[in-house]
Amino acid sequence: MRPDLTIFRATALAIALLSAAPSARSAAPLPHGLLRQSHFAIGHTSPSRTALVSATQRGRIGAIQARPGAFVRAGDPLIRLDDQAQRIRTAIADARARSQLEVEQARIRMDKAQREHDRVVSLRTRQLASQKEVADTRTEADVARIEWETARFRHTQDQLNQQLQQQLLAEHHTVAPFDGFIAERLKDVGEAVDAHEGILRLVQLDPLEVAVDCPLALANQLRINDTFVVTPMDADWSPRIGRIVFINHVVHADSRLFRVRLLVDNPRLDWLAGIRVRVTVPSDPQHTRPGKPVACHDRFLGATQAVASSPDTDATEVPPESTRTKKPG
């Protein structure tokens, strides 16, 4: 055999082996441990509701009745504006609404004018009064009746103004819209605030919301009310079940991830907002959504395995082996 032909064949074989090496590496199965680590997503907890508590009108803060960190119930008083002037206006409105003096005075005048008209009409039947006197007394009776109706109308307005002033007085007091913790105080007693300017920040921690970014391969696998195991990574807390309440239909163009939100019950308020959690598929089939085959979770695992074996695996956070938590029994 010619030496140059032998060298040519050896070179061609080496090139073929090098070109086939990447496909061989991509087809090789991932280690079992890495596949198991890809079965979860990392997220964080946050309050399910947040409210910037404010007064509905302008004024000076008279009292703040809850300290930062305090737990309040819905309806508990939180803020009171200085209401001294409004209390005086409300008292005046209450007095006018209760008073019947103007209405009674107008009624007496109306009755007197009507009696005078009846007397003149009686005299006219005996030819003792002129037609002009009858017309004049009739006009005076009509005017008195209109004045009585006007007095009744003003009294109705006074009653409505009483309700308005009482409502304005009530708006000087702000109560908690829901159960939660006072997370922050933005103003202090004595400061002047505009209407709807934030004074306290209130957060609800039962339930907690968990936000996770999922790979695009799971877009057609997740459904509202699907349940997953949520395990805190920052402290030694027991896992809980989270239920999907929101699936974002807009995918981030660069990371190819989409946002999913779950709700986790927190009746003892022992879980905090802002902790990192691991979201995994429950091993117990009873946690699956009613009416949904358990095989759907198998597709979830298969999709995460496919993402883990793709070149974009770094889009999903994979913690080290030492931080993994045992599956709940």
- SS3 at position 309: coil
Tokens representing 195 are 């209407």
The most distant pair of C-alpha atoms in the chain lies apart, rounded to whole Å, by: 159
pLDDT surpasses 50 at 164: yes
**Which class for 255: exposed (0-12), middle (13-18), buried (19 or more C-beta within 10 A)?**
middle
Beta strand 276-280 with 71-72 is unpaired
| 17-31, 41-55, 93-107, 116-130: segment of lowest average pLDDT | 17-31
Tokens of 91: 């008292």
87-109 burial: b if 16+ Cβ within 10 Å, else e? eeebeebbebbeeeebbeebbeb
- Please determine, for residue 34, whether its predicted confidence score (pLDDT) is greater than 70: no
pLDDT at 32: 29
Domain residue extents for the chain: 31-48+205-321, 83-170
pLDDT of res. 87 = 96
pLDDT range class, residue 6, cuts 50, 70, 90: low
pTM here is: 0.62
Just give the CATH number of 31-48+205-321. Answer: 2.40.30.170
Give φ, ψ of 236 to 5 degrees. -90, 75
What integer pLDDT is reported at residue 283 of this predicted model? Answer: 53
* CA dihedral over 165, 168, 172, 178, signed as positive or negative: positive
Whole-number Å distance between alpha carbons of 271 and 45 = 9
